């Protein structure tokens, strides 16, 4: 007679939901708790509340939006990972902005997903995150591919161009990172659009960069603009 193997039941995954919208949190809680291995331990509306919650209560994974009142989700994710490196953080957001994804991964999040994801895919991502996998929303994978392909150029650009930007070029790079258009920049600095375009071309040539997201990453890394300014 063969010996029957009994599969050990997995310990429930305790989740903290952090999202500004009460209705979204309630709906997500209801959907997730249909799963036998998931328990929503708490839900709060801000990063500050989440950090306070984690001081006194236990959870395995924080499911958090980026656009929160007060401290943004990316800064909160960084703080959580600094305090508790073993804690899993999963970003669930509407923002497909490239710098957000890259900074989230740099902060150590386990997943970066958009809110149009199917429930079963979200549940799968939660389980995979608990198994130490890193998950990125399918539509954002191309961003990582571009980052890998451009990394060599970016490093080269930083080493050769970090000290050659003029004061005006650094100023323009900052405003580009903040999302200003050429027209808005021209009006702000009281110059022509052609002048702005020329400065922008010079910046990209000096830094050997070809994409806007690379310029934003450069500006953040070199202290020309802060992540909080970009995410406001």
E strands, the chain, where?
A: 13-18, 38-44, 61-64, 88-93, 111-114, 135-136
37: which DSSP letter?
T
pLDDT per residue as tens digits for the range 123-158: 999 999 998 888 888 777 766 655 544 554 444 444
Give the residue from 146, 158, 132 showing the smallest Cα distance to 222.
Answer: 158
- d(CA 17, CA 91) in angstroms, rounded, equals 10
According to the model, what pLDDT value does residue 65 have?
95
| Residue-range domains of the chain with CATH | 13-136 (3.40.50.2300), 150-231 (1.10.10.10)
Q: Are the beta carbons of 204 and 215 closer than 8 angstroms?
A: yes
Decide: 134 and 111 in contact? Cβ < 8 Å. yes
pLDDT of residue 201 exceeding 70: yes
> Phi, psi (5° rounding) for residue 6?
-100, 120
Backbone CA torsion sign across 225, 141, 73, 180: positive
pTM for the model stands at 0.61
Residue among 204, 112, 199 nearest 150 (CA): 204
pLDDT, tens digit (0-9, with 9 covering 90-100), for 146-198: 554 455 444 444 444 456 789 899 999 988 888 788 888 888 889 898 999 99
């Amino acid at each position: 007679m063969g010996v029957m193997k009994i599969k050990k039941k997995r310990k429930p995954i305790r989740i903290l939901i952090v999202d500004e919208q009460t209705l979204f949190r309630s709906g997500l809680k209801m959907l997730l708790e249909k799963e036998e291995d998931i328990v929503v331990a708490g839900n709060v509306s801000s990063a500050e509340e989440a950090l306070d919650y984690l001081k006194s209560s236990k959870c395995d994974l924080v499911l958090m939006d980026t656009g929160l009142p007060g401290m943004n989700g990316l800064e909160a994710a960084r703080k959580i990972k600094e305090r508790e490196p073993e804690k899993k953080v999963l970003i669930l957001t509407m923002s497909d902005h490239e710098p957000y994804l890259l900074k989230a991964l740099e902060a150590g999040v386990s997943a970066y997903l958009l809110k149009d994801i199917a429930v079963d895919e979200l549940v799968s991502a939660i389980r995979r995150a608990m198994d130490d996998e890193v998950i990125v929303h399918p539509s954002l994978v191309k961003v990582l591919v571009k980052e890998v392909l451009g990394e060599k150029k970016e490093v080269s650009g930083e080493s050769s161009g970090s000290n050659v930007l003029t004061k005006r070029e650094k100023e323009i790079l900052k405003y580009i990172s903040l999302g200003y258009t050429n027209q808005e920049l021209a009006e702000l600095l009281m110059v022509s659009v052609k002048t702005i375009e020329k400065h922008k071309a010079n910046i990209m040539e000096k830094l050997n960069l070809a994409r806007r997201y690379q310029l934003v990453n450069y500006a953040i890394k070199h202290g020309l603009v802060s992540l909080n300014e970009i995410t406001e």
